[in-house]
Amino acid sequence: WFSMLAASYGCRVIAFEPQPHAHPFLNATITLNGWQGRVRTVWGAVSSGKDGGRPTSQMKMVNRHGWDNWDVTELVPIDDPDDGDPVP
């Protein structure tokens, strides 16, 4: 959301989207608004490394409430017991 807001004000943006289900919608929004030269998308996550210094390649997206509710996804360690999608 913040990436699209910045793009709407004319900013150049690198938008990180870790959810594989949401990434196509991000690209569609960019195309529909004509922001292809302004926004670069990255399918991946950004981490501060505070989770034991784990790189994002050892993380996954978990939605404990079903993928029909994207508002409650979490970026968790890859060894979390719940099913999830690894983050590239």
SS3 at position 37: coil
pLDDT tens figures, 23-69: 888 999 999 999 999 999 988 777 666 555 555 557 777 776 665 65
Q: Which carries the bigger pLDDT value, residue 79 or residue 70? A: 79
CB 77, CB 59: distance < 8 Å: yes
Q: Does pTM surpass 0.75? A: no
With the CA atoms of 15, 20, 24 and 30 taken in that order, what torsion angle do they form, in degrees rounded to the nearest 10?
-10
